[in-house]
Structure 1
């Protein structure tokens, strides 16, 4: 580990990758390979992977592992850099970086060298571009303001027309009754405005934040007389409000760790019970390697969450003396299996 943590460094690797993501200079596969191999070898050579550390860059663009007592452990910061690289590289080389990331989390260091060789077989390392990294500024939205009356007028008229169409087949009203219903609907749709009192003076409209008057203070408005039969349906305003309430969707919520564990367990159960490769392939991010085992069935094994990086999780399945590490990734609204590894014991 570097003896002088920050004396010869200019930036953290995580900070540099964050700026590359926001800049107009995309990270190439060769640069990503240089970073990936450096951090994996540095992690393997570290005297202890349980101490706090941070990956930083020298002025020449060389990654060095620096001591940071307040930071995460060496294995965690290394996996975080590899996870950033997986999200930054092109899709055609992403599987090699993903396998290296998963191997660091689930396999012992001797396996890492084999995964390095597989990556270098398809990607040639290139020196890291340090700068300049000018952020790409998105175009500012138009500052032209729309007239509120113009914006609200058309939808308001459309809603009145819709209301009239809904009322016509249900209730037969006199001319006065129709006018009363349309006027009531217009008042319920239109925003509050000033209204004249009985003496012709203009009174200020009630503020939206002012509590409504009690039922004893506000007289009830009688419904307009109709010539419909006793089996007439509720008026259009009530029906419209009922439809809006029945179709309203509940607010979105952030999935809890228990939700993630349940979703992962469901995917692994489906893979374990597949009868053919086509069934299992539909639940994977990419086809399995020839020697890769099927995951254990969570119904007959113990499932433990090892790592949760938001869009990527690592779980451990244990059934007696048999243990596996399984990595899964989120693809839009579902989880897919990325890799399955049989292990004898926890990697050091």
Structure 2
């Protein structure tokens, strides 16, 4: 593996695009400028077009090209990234510039590529891509409502036996009102509020012989919380000591790689992303490289032969986002 940059690598660009697409945060024009210009310049400077490469994001939120035996040639890899990023953009003018940029790569038009780069800078000043945290969008679950007949909402608030008694009294009062003009005049003298309450109860109550279903809630059911899902696998919680939390998580991740069914508890996307993680135990050297608030990069192993691992906090626990084996560049 070889990298053309000494920057710390944070995440594969294609994995970032999938994660960003699940969030509510659209790609800003400034981020689009950074992404497109980095891709265009990297592609023009790739040299040997028979290389197989992939694109990663650095810890500074900028794209960088990395040799990868499972990747594509520089032109194809760059065009695919530009197309994927276009789906994250909402501004029509910015999307149009990305389309021109992608066409310049596919047609190998260096002059067009350089021109669209200048247009991007005029369109919006560059800004680093937001690495995280990016909370996924949660769609609200619609709740079904049952329409009530007039007056049913009031009676539903009382005990079933009491509501039956109210209905019985209301029916009796209604019959007496119909039979006695004197009683009607007496109720009129009590004022509009009393009449309104009596009317709601009397004339919304069902006729004799009909029934109204009411629900009696047991007190035990109210007091008992809804049972939560029991976790069958241990998870690594957040900790003020990021290095020790990283050690516990990576030890579990390295053991998970040899057969345990625990991928969803250690990897952000539920499966391994990037290179195979080296074995981690109590003696393994782990060094904190940078902390972006919810996204942390650590170096695992010896400085010359180790790995950069990106960790992310999610739901009060740590997860592994990406692993990259890369030799440190000489200063």
TM over 0.5: no
TM interval, short-chain normalised:
0.3 to 0.5
**TM superposition score normalised by structure 2:** 0.40
